[in-house]
Amino acid sequence: MCDWGTLPDGRTAKLITLSNDRLRVNVLSFGAAIQSVHLDDIPHSLTPGFDHLAPYQTGKGANGCIVGPVANRIGGAQAMIDGQLTHFDANEAGRTTRHSGSAGTHLQPWRPTMVAKNYAELQLPLPDGQGGFPGNRTLIAAFILTEATLSLRLSATTDRTTLINLANHSYWNLGGAPTYAGHRLQINADHYLPTHDNLPTGEIAPVAGKPFDFRTPRDLTPGTDAVLDHNFCLSNTRRPVTDIATLTGPSGLSMTMATTEPGLQVYDGANFPGAPYAGLALEAQSWPDAPNHPNFPSILLTPDDIYTQETRWSFRQL
């Protein structure tokens, strides 16, 4: 672990390097971000990261970070919690809360609490009312390397009923080219959420016959495919870790993603900071705008419960 820049309040951001015989992964304490992933002797990172702190501080792209306490969008920047209408930071055209607004966990320094050769744990306390979200909450992110697999385990507790929907916001480019052109994507989802003005309409639509059908692997052509910024419905509830998607690069290097989460947000990276389509974002999470759609899996967390999520990325060269 080494210093990696100074924050405006004088605190130091840390760079943590994890490694084993197959993987080398850099994690930042700021935003708990996956900054780079190197496999075997491949010369380039499999995730496009920034090489200095400033771009992470802007929050643009939330590149590699843990996004929360509620990832994705909340329509109207408000939701009912324990029978009370609760308002949040309206940071997207004044009408939605995107990635929790100014209270987003991707904009905050996490504290490393345990670091070993192939394991790192970071913690972030969130005070009651920050960004409008109730509860004194504690978030923990643990990164683990096992052979050619990177695992992320997230947990959260609260002392008041609140909303929790955490997501890792990494972009992936397995080929090392300026864009992910030539990649193939497969997603184990029969349904997706149609959107209007970036928000789910409430319909849970079949992917069959639509540009969102990735049940069979499909080639990706950035900028010419249907715009991708949608939630794919993997299940109706959190479940044991299950393979959900496979991304394959032009050389045959593949990444299989597995998660406990009921949703996968896929974003085509059209607005990747400074480099459109530099990577494809695959974000395991619960469904967006869930508090405003009773038919979506709930993201409420009570003081009696513990939120847990596990996501794994396994790499293989064909």
Q: Cβ distance 139 to 41 under 8 Å?
A: no
Q: How many CA atoms lie within 13 A of 71 on its CB side?
A: 25
Give the range among 133-142, 176-185, 220-229, 259-268 with minimum mean pLDDT. Answer: 220-229
Give how far Cα 96 sits from Cα of 197, 228, 263, Å. Answer: 10, 19, 20
Query: Catalytic site residues?
Result: 169, 283
pLDDT average, residue stretch 143-166: 98
The dihedral through the CA atoms of 288, 186, 315, 4 has a sign that is negative
pLDDT, residue 318, reads: 79
pLDDT surpassing 70 at residue 266: yes
Mean pLDDT of 49-63: 94
pLDDT band at residue 226 using 50, 70 and 90 as cut-offs: confident
- 102 pLDDT exceeds 70? yes
Average pLDDT, the chain: 96
Rounded mean pLDDT, 121-139: 98
Closest to 73 (Cα-Cα) out of 229, 288, 261, 263: 288
How much is the pLDDT for 225? 65
Model confidence at 292, pLDDT cuts 50, 70, 90, reads: very high
- pLDDT bracket for residue 60 (50, 70, 90): confident
Dist. CA 50–CA 279, nearest whole Å: 13
Query: Cβ atoms within 10 A of the Cβ of 197, count?
Result: 11
**Tell me: the pLDDT tens digits for 184-198?**
999 999 999 999 999
Q: What percent of the chain has pLDDT over 90?
A: 95
Q: Tell me what pLDDT residue 268 has.
A: 96
CB 297 within 8 A of CB 287: yes
**Strand pairing partners for 98?**
73
Confidence band of 50 (pLDDT split at 50, 70, 90):
very high
Q: Is the dihedral of CA 82, 85, 91, 92 positive or negative?
A: positive
